[in-house]
Amino acid sequence: MGSTDEKRNLTIVSNRLPLSVKRVDGAFQSSLSSGGLVTSLSGLTKSTKFQWFGWPGIEVKDPKDREEVQKSLEAHNAIPIFLDSSLAHEHYNEFSNRILWPILHYQSGVVFDETPWQAYRRVNELFADAIAETAGSGSLIWVHDYHLMLLPELLRDRLKQRGKSCAIGFSLHTPFPAGDFWRNLPVRKHLIEGMLSSDLIGFHTDEYKQNFIDTCASLLNARTEIPNQIQYKNRLVCINKFIVGIDPDKFTDTLQKPDVQERIRALKEHYKGVKVIVGVDRLDHIKGLSQKLKGFDAFLDDHPELQNKVVLIQVAVPSREDVKEYKELETELCTIAGKINGKHATPEGTPLLYMHRSVPFNELTALYSVADVCLLTSTRDGMNLVAFEYVACQEERHGVLVLSEFAGAASFMTNGSIPFHPANKTEMSEAIFNALNLDPAERKAKYEYLRGFVNTNTSAKWGETFIEKLSLRCRRPGESC
């Protein structure tokens, strides 16, 4: 995150810092966390210096301990915002992940509750206080994701009280659902007005952008006639799509490491004569994991001739384990995985390797590299960076991406992949079969299309483009977008 002596005029804000702090034998230790947001912003660290505000993921009560944590994070230009664990729980697990996240991903049956909502407000206020105190006038503040939708408005007020003027950008990493779906949430107006206090708002796809514009027009009566801009309460807000990506060099460089090469050789030897399908997903309903396992089961039923000749290696990374629905999903997946292997395993092997843990980065790249197919079954997904990562690791093999039409990535990658509907087992089974049997020329053509896309739309480009647009807003706030 850049050096401490650098002039800091860019502030990144996300609910969690990219470093997780843990207390080990009385001392505080921090380690880099993984996830889509960290992956996307890590590309920016190469070219741009910034400070990063967020929750350190641990409750620290004692002022001396807080100082210690602060100091250890300072070396990484990370600034912790401390939260009591009950407040953090209500904000993160209860409102953000049990109520808001499902709505953003078109899941129905969500029940609104006042207590978590108040906690959500309070946490956004605490973030606004801390950032307004530190930010210098004229700086750029880039807020990330659904945990902090109220922040732009709260922050703008507090900056104004202190006589500071900063450009505020907001990026949403999830889908933005169609307006009608938002009606399930009684506080939707507050959240959308909160976002509208930004100068620039970024979405992953044109569809999410348009849903936001339409929702602002119908719900708030905002003026939206001019493309890419919204006029609301005498303010002009610019709206656009910014294609988030990865740092492909990080993957290609890792693949060259001798220990990774060795691991790839060992995996190839192990899976000689067997086609490998890989899946890497956070254990989350939106990733369509139960649909994936059921679709794979259907594929095995449809193709008995492929017994012992195909394996699905599924990494399901533990996520949000304090939320009841996520625990239930984990239990459900274990049951389905057991049934699949119970039905299809032979003394020679099991068709499904279900790993409920995260794997080290080197291992991840080796897995991507040896896989003939990557199967991604999101029922909804802001983008899905695993799709990009698989492509980055397939220079040699030209493996095939089988990609759900509901991943944001499908808006850009359909030409180079095999699309399917994740709830349709027959379609999924056919898509897997077609991917495994695609002729080399077509595989190459599809791969080259995807490689071009992934190499052009990097995370660095995403970050730099957003910041450039935001600084333009800072210099000429009243001008059209």
- Put the strands of the sheet holding 400-404 in their side by side order: 352-355, 310-317, 275-282, 373-376, 400-404, 418-420
Per-residue binding string, ligand GDG, 388-427, x by CB under 6 A, is: -x------------------x-------------------
Taking the C-alpha atoms of residue 170 and residue 204, their distance in angstroms, rounded to an integer, is 12
Tokens for 134, please give them.
């530190």
Q: Lay out the site mask for ligand GDG across 309-328 (x = CB under 6 A, - = otherwise).
A: ------x-x-----------
Does position 459 interact with ligand GDG (CB under 6 A)? The reply is no
A 10 A CB-CB count for 161 gives: 9
CB atoms within 10 A of CB 452: 12
Stretch that binds ligand GDG, among 29-37, 120-128, 215-223, 442-450 (CB under 6 A): 29-37
Taking Cα atoms as reference points, which of 388, 396, 145 lies closest to residue 256? Answer: 396
Per residue, the 3-state secondary structure of 32-73, as one string, reads ECCCHHHHHHHHHHHCCCCEEEEECCCCCCCHHHHHHHHHHH
CB nearer ligand GDG, residue 78 or residue 383: 383
Residues that bind ligand GDG (rule: CB under 6 A) add up to a total of 25
Terminal Cα-to-Cα distance of the chain (whole angstroms): 29
Residue number, 120 or 412, with CB nearest to ligand GDG: 412
Gap between the Cα atoms of 477 and 366, Å rounded: 47
Contact flag: residue 382 with ligand GDG (CB under 6 A): yes
Return the residue of 155, 168, 375, 383 that touches ligand GDG, per CB under 6 A: 383
Closest approach of Cβ 265 to ligand GDG, in Å? 21
- Is residue 294 within 8 Å of 327, Cβ to Cβ? no
144 touches ligand GDG by CB under 6 A:
no
By CB under 6 A, residue 173 contacts ligand GDG: yes
Is residue 244 a contact residue for ligand GDG (CB under 6 A)?
Answer: yes
One character per residue 337-376, x = contact with ligand GDG (rule: CB under 6 A): ---------------------xx-x--x------------
433 binds ligand GDG (CB under 6 A): no
Strand partners, 327: none
Applying CB under 6 A, which residues contact ligand GDG? 34-37, 39-40, 173-174, 244, 280, 282, 315, 317, 358-359, 361, 364, 381-386, 389, 408
